[in-house]
Structure 1
C-alpha cells in the first residue's frame, strides 16, 4: 500500500516515511530528555555534599564600601571541593579572603585559587581568618536584616544562603553558641 499526501507547497510526502521519521524523532527526543533528567540529579547529589551553617555578616557604616561574611562550611562528600567565589545583589563583587600576619601587621588577601573544603571536613569562615568579602556594597548592611548570597563551589556549583546581619562588633553569629575562636 502506498499512500501519498500533498502539502500546500506542492511537495509530496510518503506517509509511511513521515510516520517512520516521526517515530525516530520521538525516540531520539525521549533518549535526550532522559539524559537531561540524569544530569540535574548528579548536580543535586554533588551540591548536597556541601552544608553551610550560621551564615552571618556585620553591620556596616554609611559610606563603607565593603563588608565581611562568615559561616561554617562542611563537606560530607568523599571528594574535596573548593569555594571559588559568589554573587549577591548587595555588592558588586564577592571575593574569598584570608588574613596573614606579617611582621606584626595583619593583612587581608584574596585567595585567587579559592578555598579548599576537604572531603569529610569543615572550614569555619570567621573574623581574623578565612572569610568572604562583599566588595562595592550597594548600601550599608543593617543589623537585623538578611542579605542573599550565592556561593560558587568548583564541584557543588551554586549554593544559596541568607546572611543574618549582626551588630558591628560581633565575633560570631548570634545563633552560634561558640565564641568564634574555633577552627
Structure 2
C-alpha cells in the first residue's frame, strides 16, 4: 500500500514510517491552509485534515496523512496540542489527537506576537530546527517524549481506527 504524508518535516515522516512499516511511505508538501501557528484544537485539527487531503491531491496514494502541531487554551493557560488526519481514496476521514503539555508564559507572549512555535523554541532552547527534531514537547519533557514519538502515538490512533472501520 502507498501512503503519503502532507509534510516534508523529518519528525512527521519518521512517525508515519514507524507505524506503517509494511507500506511505502512518501511525502508531499501539502499546505495546512490555517495560520502558521494554529491557536485552537479546531484550527489544528483542520490543518491536519487539510494536509491529508492536500497530500492525496499531490501524490497518487492509497492513504493521505496530515499531522499538525498547534496550541490551545485550557482555563486561560496555553498548552501544546497536536492532531492527525488519515484520509482514504474514497474520502473516509479519521482524526485523532495526542499529548498536551503546558507551555511557559514567556512562550505564550512570543506566540501572541505572531511568531511560530518552532521559531520561538529555537530561540528559547538555543538550538536549531527544534521543529524537525525533538520539538517543544522534547524540550519541555526533558527529552522523555520527542516530537516524533508524540506523532507516532497519533498515527497509531489513526491506523487503528482505519483498520477497525475497514473490517466492517
Q: TM-score, normalised by structure 2?
A: 0.27
Greater gyration radius: 1
Higher relative contact order (Cα pairs below 8 Å, separated by 6+ residues): 1
Structure with a larger share of its residues in strand: 1
Structure with a larger share of its residues in helix: 2
Q: TM-score, normalised by structure 1?
A: 0.26
